[in-house]
Amino acid sequence: MNAGAWIGLAGGLIGIIVAVGAVLATGGSSGIYIAGGIIVVFGGMMLLFWKLFFGPMINAARLQKNGISGKATIREVHDTGVTINNNPQVKLVLDVKNSYGQIYSTTIRALVSRINPGMFQPGMVIPVKIDPKNEQNVVVDYDGGSTQQSNTSAISNTQYSAAQVSAMESELMKVQKEQEAIRLTGRSAKAIITKYTWLNVYVNGNNPYSEIEFQVMPDDGPAFEGRCKGAISEQSVPKYQPGQQIYVKYDPNDKTKCVLDHS
């Protein structure tokens, strides 16, 4: 889990402690009841955030370091109705093959990037990390290679060789990982598209892999130029043409790092 998330968690705990202390000090005989209510309400909220956000992040980071590498075939994909930082969460039913060749079924939850809506589809084979103490505890291994469909590459374009397609898939996974980090901690801003360029590649069907250039207009500073790459849903291409207004997130410490954001 990154430093920003830990700081946010620590800040929330400190805020609750301070609020409870202030109520107990000034609330008189009813202060203990008010303090109890604060603990129940805000403690419940923090528990929910832990279950949906912090806990899975810590588990994923731990398994990325200590988990056993394996492969999994996606059997089913279901919408959970949960959205985190405007990225929908899905439930994946997997047939997992561990490093010993054993195959078993498990269910996990994963976030889907809004710029790559087809990143998880039935039949795809994805790299995973498996908890050596609990084989049902599995996370997607974004560093373990690109996801592939069972019968065809996720990236399709007949003018490229197999080696070129593999390199493009690796680039796509790297871009996706970098953008997920920006999406979690970056600042939101409006932007106006200045240029749309299709990169002659389709991802997971007919979704064009594209580069988008835009003028970012943050509320608290001067406008600046930004750009990002990503797979755009085929139906959404008209929304990403020059002159269209979109939302982006950017790294305030490095404004060259931007990602599309549909908030």
Residue 159 belongs to some domain of the structure = no
| C-alpha–C-alpha distance, residues 145 and 122, integer Å | 18
Partnered with residue 105 across adjacent β-strands are 95
Q: 14 and 58 share a domain?
A: yes
Question: What residue numbers bound the domain in which 11 lies?
Answer: 3-64
Q: Is the pTM of this model over 0.75?
A: no
170-190 pLDDT, tens digit per residue, is 777 777 778 778 878 889 999
pLDDT value of position 150: 43
Q: 254 and 189 share a domain?
A: yes
20-43 pLDDT, tens digit per residue, is 566 556 655 666 656 666 666 666
In this structure, which amino acid lies at residue 79? Answer: D
Q: 60 and 74 share a domain?
A: no
Which of 46, 64, 82 represents a domain boundary (last residue)? 64
C-beta neighbour count of 181 within 10 angstroms: 14
Q: 49 and 113 share a domain?
A: no
Q: 60 and 71 share a domain?
A: no
pLDDT value of position 162: 60
Query: In CATH, what number is assigned to the domain containing residue 96?
Result: 2.40.50
pLDDT at 156 over 70: no
* Conformational region of residue 213, where left means phi above 0, alpha means psi within -120 to 50, and beta covers everything else: beta
Which of 64, 96, 111 represents a domain boundary (last residue)? 64
Two tokens, residue 213 = 């250039």
Residue 157 belongs to some domain of the structure = no
226-238 pLDDT, tens digit per residue, is 999 888 888 888 8
Q: 195 and 182 share a domain?
A: yes
Residue 165 belongs to some domain of the structure = no
Residue 228 belongs to some domain of the structure = yes
Which of 24, 48, 64 represents a domain boundary (last residue)? 64
| C-alpha–C-alpha distance, residues 68 and 209, integer Å | 32
pLDDT value of position 149: 46
pLDDT value of position 34: 65
C-beta neighbour count of 5 within 10 angstroms: 16
What's the domain count of the chain? Answer: 3
pLDDT at 157 over 60: no
Q: 58 and 89 share a domain?
A: no
| C-alpha–C-alpha distance, residues 217 and 208, integer Å | 26
pLDDT at 262 over 60: no
Q: 58 and 73 share a domain?
A: no
pLDDT value of position 51: 65
For residues 63-78, give the mean pLDDT.
Answer: 86
Place of tokens 């923090």: 46
Q: 57 and 101 share a domain?
A: no
Q: 27 and 81 share a domain?
A: no
